[in-house]
Amino acid sequence: MKNNLLCLLLFFASMSCFAQFGVKAGLNFSSNGELREIATAGENIIEDSGDAKIGYHIGAYYDINFSKLYLRPEVVYTKTQSEYGSNNYDMSKIDVPVLLGLKIIGPLSVFAGPAFQYTLDNGFDDVTISDVENDFTVGFNFGAAVKFGNIGLDVRYERGFTENEASILDSNNVRIGTLDSRPSQLIFSLSLRL
């Protein structure tokens, strides 16, 4: 038992030699899905994919390096925005991507992996909207990064796997439409290794 504990302790101690902590922040260009509005008792259905607006993110990461591969879990606060007609839809969430990267050549690498998302808040200008169906969802990230010393730049695409609808309600709290809050976003990040 003591030998197993000692081996485990040595394993984690050696991993910390190859690990790098850091912080990151950047901009998101996101579209939060499709708006479906039911007009006049279901006779007309209006669909709008929405226009991407600029959001932001800030968080921390932990790189574990293995020669050409690396594992990079992140914890990121993300604020996204989309515009539907004259109304803006805002969503705040915690993203936890777990990325597997491959160092290509020099400072360039590519990465991909799942992103676990927890929705904190959502809102639609001048419209009553319900909470999303599922606070916890899963998506996918893939992208490329370059590192110059302690500074890193990356660009990635994120997409949610499943629809996660919020209901649009009228003044009597009757559902008159839905909004799919599944993210589809292009993300630009600047990171600093500490």
Q: What is the pLDDT of residues 20-72, one digit of tens each?
A: 899 999 999 987 766 666 555 555 555 666 667 899 999 999 999 998 999 99
Q: What is the pLDDT of residues 55-69, one digit of tens each?
A: 999 999 999 999 899
Indicate the pLDDT class of residue 123, thresholds 50, 70 and 90. confident
| C-alpha span between 103 and 38 (Å, rounded) | 49
Give yes or no for residue 14 having a pLDDT over 80: no
**pLDDT: which is higher, 175 or 154:** 154
Secondary structure string (H, E, C) spanning the chain: CHHHHHHHHHHHHHHHHHEEEEEEEEEEEEECCCEEEEECCCCEEEEECCEEEEEEEEEEEEEEEECCEEEEEEEEEEEEEEEECCEEEEEEEEEEEEEEEEEEECCEEEEEEEEEEEEEEEEECCEEECCCCCCEEEEEEEEEEEEECCEEEEEEEEEECCCCEEEEECCCCCEEEEEECCCEEEEEEEEEEC
pLDDT number for residue 46:
58
pLDDT number for residue 30:
82
What percent of the chain lies above the pLDDT cut of 90?
45
pLDDT number for residue 8:
47
**pLDDT: which is higher, 186 or 11:** 186
pLDDT number for residue 183:
77
Give me the chain's average pLDDT, please. 82
Q: pTM of the prediction? A: 0.79
Q: How many other CB atoms sit within 10 Å of the CB of residue 14?
A: 10
Indicate the pLDDT class of residue 129, thresholds 50, 70 and 90. low
Domains of the chain: 19-193 (2.40.160.20)
**pLDDT: which is higher, 81 or 143:** 143
**pLDDT: which is higher, 134 or 137:** 137
What percent of the chain lies above the pLDDT cut of 70?
71
| C-alpha span between 189 and 92 (Å, rounded) | 17
**pLDDT: which is higher, 108 or 32:** 108
